Structure 1
Amino acid sequence: MRNRLNMNIAKSVFLIIFTGIIFWGCQQVNKAGNENTADVIIYGGTSAAVTAAVEVVHSGKSVIVVSPDIHLGGLSAGGLGFTDTGNKSTIGGLSREFYHRVWKHYNDSAAWIWEKHSEYGNKGQGTVAMDGENRTMWIFEPHVAEQVFEDFIVENNIPVDRDEWLDRKNGVQVEGGKITAITTLSGKNYQGKIFIDATYEGDLMAAAGISYHVGRESCSVYNEEWNGVQAGVFHHGHHFKSKIDPYVIPGDPSSGLLPKISAEKPGENCTGDDKVQAYCFRLCMSNHADNRVPFPKPDNYDPKDYELLVRVFEAGWNEWFNKFDMIPNRKTDTNNHGPFSSDNIGMNYDYPEASYERRKEIIKEHEDYQKGLLYFVSNDARVPDEVRTAMQNWGLAADEFTDNGNWPHQLYIREARRMIGEYVTSENDVLGKREVPQPIGMGSYTMDSHNIQRYVTEEGFVQNEGDLGIHPHQPYQISYGSIVPQKEECTNLLVPVAVSSSHIAFGSIRMEPVFMILGQSAAVAASIAIDKEKSVQDVQYDELKEKLISKNQKLSVSQL
């Protein structure tokens, strides 16, 4: 009897081992056959993609990050080191953990290579740079941010397939209202239960047939005041304050317009269009003699492209250095400032829907424009002496983006596609004019839109349009419905970056700390949907809320 029992046990053990071997073998075949399976497939390499992936692991699920980018972190690791925080008390969860790790890095004296910590100061955007009380730091170098993201990946054993580009034409398989698999241009196939689109462009969302919008809605669509065309509205200093002639030969329209000025009229105020706010590279520059590279001269450099800037200087404008925001080690996060600056206004309208090849052309055009601008201001005799001389003390930071000629890997895609989901966040939510259902995170930054058009006024002068900044009265909530598609379109996709919002509301949501918050919240929702075998739209909010709070996500003013 005992021998028979032992034989049965031996058979059972053998079957378990044999089954395990077969399963392991199948997994290897799947990998060899370019097929990959996980509970959650995340498409994108942004900061939101990383926090979402970390949270999937923390929630006990498997994940694969399919990243078109080689370098992770998007803008957070791509030059935007002078963080747009707004009210930093709204930033919780893994997003705050990111800024805590940055703080830990700069508490080590070894981090201060090109200047002493004591020499840096403590200035941030609306907050201190280094917050000792809350153990967070909001200002940082690009390579430091990228290392934090890479540490997240390594510590959580997250598989990341880099330089993998979604086949946007034929690479999204949808069956019964669910995405079952995606395929990249290299032929790799990824199967999952839940998919997360964490790209700035919303490429997976669009390829899956989800409704979305590009450009500005008219004010009437969501009963807003600040959407659509806003000609003559100047909330910042990024407009022409003097009467600047737009023509090649001043006063002669027949001579044609100077470069970077559109002949198109801006449209009636509050009307919608298909235009998006300007893009630029957030440059990391250095004024340390041992850590700067001279600004390169593009092969297609033409000083005529910057004639408009000469006229701005001649009119007495003297704000060229106003957005050379200092980050540690005598470097900058250099942003657009003024009427003619690093924002390449009007040169990106087709980017959101463009092919990969066309996007590369747009990115290259932006790079050439911005490199040419820096070279021009550093070398052209028509630039005021004090500006040109000072610029010669600056260059690209030699120890940043070392595999890309010290140039950022990521263009600042301030806005592209925006999903039209279960709930559309509008300025009415941001300004506290209505109650937000099912909040999964908070925002607080100004509804900030960069310029969208540069045109000729009725009086015959050049002017910019679209630059807005409307401050929320207090931090506001972001609805779960803004990261999920309409149920009839797809039931297993979450979109934490190209979120469902109006143009002007997205101007506040589009901050990197918020993207990280929404990435984590999307992952928590994905885990619940998998456990309960429900669509993402049918996740019970009470359960989601409880889990988010347990992970230190901030969902209401009462938590701050």
Structure 2
Amino acid sequence: MKKIKLAAIFLAFLVVWACAVKQSNKANHPDVVIYGGTSAAITAAVQLAQMDKNVLIVCPEKHIGGLSASGLGYTDVGDKSVIGGLSREFYHRVYLHYQNDEAWKWQPRSEYGNQGQGTTAINDSMQTMWTFEPHVAENIFEEFVAENNITILRDEWLDRENGVEVIDGKIKSITMLSGKKFEAEIFMDATYEGDLMAAAGVNYHVGREANSVYNETWNGVQKGVFHHGHNFHHQQLNISPYVIPGDPSSGVLPRISTEPPGENGSGDKRIQAYNYRLCTTNAEGNYVPFEKPENYDPAQYELLRRVFRAGRHSMFGGGKIPNGKRDVNNVGPFSSDNIGMNYDYPEASYEERKVILQEHIDYHQGLLYFWCTDESVPENLRLKMRKWGLAKDEFVDNNHWPYQIYVREARRMLGEFVMTDNEILGKKPVDKSIGMGSYAMDSHNTQRYITEEGYVQNEGDLGVEPPAPYQIHLGTIVPKREECKNLLVLTAVSSSHIAFGSIRMEPVFMVLGQSAGVLAGMAMEKGVDLHEVDYHELADQLHAAGQILDISNK
């Protein structure tokens, strides 16, 4: 009996040792290194693991999942039926989570009703839910990682100046600021900023292209185009931008540019505004009141005072998510979008980005306090706002503030194929589809300027619906062959500004991540470069993985 016990202990030791060796090999000898911890990184890693490839995620984030786990719980999706594969699996797991009565701590499940945007698609067993709490999303991503034995090294920051070694058109290694160095056959950039792509010398674009560059309609400056209510045209708000209304000599109010806006259709370096997607609630016992920031300056919101006095009272936008919470987004002409304050972010150093992020936090937290306290806000709205706060059970190690800002757009690769509004609107075909999108070409405002008539106005906010779901080209994730042969770009994809406004939705990023995983796995199995994988064979593998490549494949 004693010998049997010793043998069992020894066998258990061997199992543990083998698992440790396997995990060590994954970290020290990966086939693929993914830089970034976004939702696309997770689906790419899961796909590679399921193809029995050693994959390592190295990311600056401590919390994985990108915006899907950082406040964007009211999913922008369009036609849900074209979302397949692991992306749909994610939303299926959301659905399964909320079937459990224990998941409804702060709100009766029956009260929430059908607000989860639920659908049955692909087959009757694949029920999905598209609204969720941030911590639920993060837990699902962590489940994906654990189930597939994926190794993640967190809080690791790429040395963007000297940390990418490229030899003969291939990335040989990447080095972090910590000094850790990683080699692999294939690398993936899964950051919203495109940091690895840029450091590897791959060409990219920042800002809006002129319409003439790709023969587009909806790119570049769009003065006088008002698709939503996020401007001063709505209700004909003729508001003076000057400290003393109507007197240019008195100076300009904060957060209004004095630069000329540019001619319609012309390109510029401006990028659409960022904000934080807050998770708020009014559930008793689960909210943290909006407090006065240390450096609160009410003068920063003088323009908003004038908006209120003119009769426009939009404040608290966003969609309902479970447990009495809201995913809060920008609404109206002056809201949480910090217009014009992010232009330097894509190319900024880490330290410079920290300054920009803190400016956005200060602005946003000050805005919340302003809404609760300033006398220009109608009293009934002030009292209502004071009943809301940040959800106490979200982002618990970050003062209940989202982990990541909403980087709606930063760098965009100039890859093998550039998606434009022509492909989104069905004017030009796509012959090598790796997934589909369907959401409107959505751009938030890029600037707040002074009109010729002497009034303040916002510009850049667009929403152009495609006539049908569209295909996304393989070349959007693949750099030009002569620039890099072993890199895939999952999020800073090759597209024009306005086309990116549709592609950038989180369900689509997850689709592109999985497709990149299939492509990388096939390239290694065949012993060829990424650019040499036969598309028809790739399409077969993508279909097998549950991806939807065209409408007939729905």
SS at 2:434 equivalent: strand
**Structure 1 residue aligned with 2:268:** 273
Task: Report whether the alignment pairs 1:89 with 2:86.
Answer: no
Distance 2:39 2:231 in 1: 31
Distance 1:202 1:69 in 2: 15
**Structure 1 residue aligned with 2:545:** 551
Which of residues 244, 247, 268 in structure 2 aligns to 1:252? 247
**Structure 1 residue aligned with 2:105:** 113
Instruction: Call closer, same or farther: CA 1:25–1:244 in 2, change over 3 Å.
Output: closer
Task: Report whether the alignment pairs 1:181 with 2:176.
Answer: no
Task: Report whether the alignment pairs 1:475 with 2:503.
Answer: no
Distance 2:201 2:240 in 1: 46
**Structure 2 residue aligned with 1:493:** 487
**Structure 2 residue aligned with 1:364:** 358
Which of residues 298, 301, 307 in structure 2 aligns to 1:303? 298
Instruction: Call closer, same or farther: CA 1:378–1:498 in 2, change over 3 Å.
Output: same
Q: How does 1:7-406 map to 2 (within 5 A)?
A: 36-123=28-115, 127-128=117-118, 134-240=126-232, 241=234, 242-321=237-316, 323-406=317-400
Q: Following TM superposition, by how much is the alpha carbon of 1:538 offset from its aligned partner in structure 2, in angstroms?
A: 1.2
SS at 1:100 equivalent: helix
Q: Following TM superposition, by how much is the alpha carbon of 1:434 offset from its aligned partner in structure 2, in angstroms?
A: 1.0
Distance 1:261 1:93 in 2: 44
Q: Following TM superposition, by how much is the alpha carbon of 1:26 offset from its aligned partner in structure 2, in angstroms?
A: 13
Q: Following TM superposition, by how much is the alpha carbon of 1:456 offset from its aligned partner in structure 2, in angstroms?
A: 0.4
Instruction: Call closer, same or farther: CA 1:70–1:25 in 2, change over 3 Å.
Output: closer
Assess if the C-alpha contact under 8 Å between 1:122 and 1:129 holds in 2. no
Distance 1:485 1:202 in 2: 12
SS at 1:458 equivalent: coil
Assess if the C-alpha contact under 8 Å between 1:75 and 1:412 holds in 2. yes
Assess if the C-alpha contact under 8 Å between 1:130 and 1:137 holds in 2. no
**Structure 1 residue aligned with 2:421:** 427
User: Counterpart amino acid of 2:181?
Assistant: N
Distance 1:39 1:159 in 2: 12
Q: Following TM superposition, by how much is the alpha carbon of 1:130 offset from its aligned partner in structure 2, in angstroms?
A: 9.3
Distance 1:50 1:102 in 2: 16
Which of residues 444, 451, 465 in structure 2 aligns to 1:450? 444
Instruction: Call closer, same or farther: CA 1:297–1:129 in 2, change over 3 Å.
Output: farther
Assess if the C-alpha contact under 8 Å between 1:130 and 1:139 holds in 2. no
Distance 1:382 1:516 in 2: 43
Assess if the C-alpha contact under 8 Å between 2:118 and 2:128 holds in 1. no
User: Counterpart amino acid of 1:505?
Assistant: A
CA RMSD of aligned residues (A): 1.7
Distance 2:314 2:369 in 1: 18
Task: Report whether the alignment pairs 1:460 with 2:441.
Answer: no
Task: Report whether the alignment pairs 1:416 with 2:417.
Answer: no
Instruction: Call closer, same or farther: CA 1:391–1:129 in 2, change over 3 Å.
Output: farther
More divergent stretch after superposition (290-299 vs 274-283): 290-299
Assess if the C-alpha contact under 8 Å between 1:129 and 1:139 holds in 2. no
More divergent stretch after superposition (533-542 vs 163-172): 533-542
Task: Report whether the alignment pairs 1:407 with 2:366.
Answer: no
Assess if the C-alpha contact under 8 Å between 2:318 and 2:330 holds in 1. no
Distance 2:111 2:553 in 1: 36
Q: Following TM superposition, by how much is the alpha carbon of 1:133 offset from its aligned partner in structure 2, in angstroms?
A: 7.3
Q: Following TM superposition, by how much is the alpha carbon of 1:411 offset from its aligned partner in structure 2, in angstroms?
A: 0.1
Unaligned runs of 5+ in 2: 1-16
Q: Following TM superposition, by how much is the alpha carbon of 1:338 offset from its aligned partner in structure 2, in angstroms?
A: 0.5
Q: Following TM superposition, by how much is the alpha carbon of 1:252 offset from its aligned partner in structure 2, in angstroms?
A: 1.3
CA offset digits 1:282-306 (Å, max 9, x no partner): 0000101210001122111001111
Q: Following TM superposition, by how much is the alpha carbon of 1:254 offset from its aligned partner in structure 2, in angstroms?
A: 1.3
Q: Following TM superposition, by how much is the alpha carbon of 1:128 offset from its aligned partner in structure 2, in angstroms?
A: 4.2
Assess if the C-alpha contact under 8 Å between 1:425 and 1:505 holds in 2. yes
SS at 1:221 equivalent: helix
Q: Following TM superposition, by how much is the alpha carbon of 1:324 offset from its aligned partner in structure 2, in angstroms?
A: 3.3
Distance 1:129 1:245 in 2: 47
Distance 1:536 1:59 in 2: 16
Same amino acid, percent of matched pairs: 63
Count of aligned pairs: 531
**Structure 1 residue aligned with 2:534:** 540
User: Counterpart amino acid of 1:111?
Assistant: A
Q: Following TM superposition, by how much is the alpha carbon of 1:27 offset from its aligned partner in structure 2, in angstroms?
A: 10
Assess if the C-alpha contact under 8 Å between 1:36 and 1:189 holds in 2. no
CA offset digits 1:86-108 (Å, max 9, x no partner): 00001000000000001000000
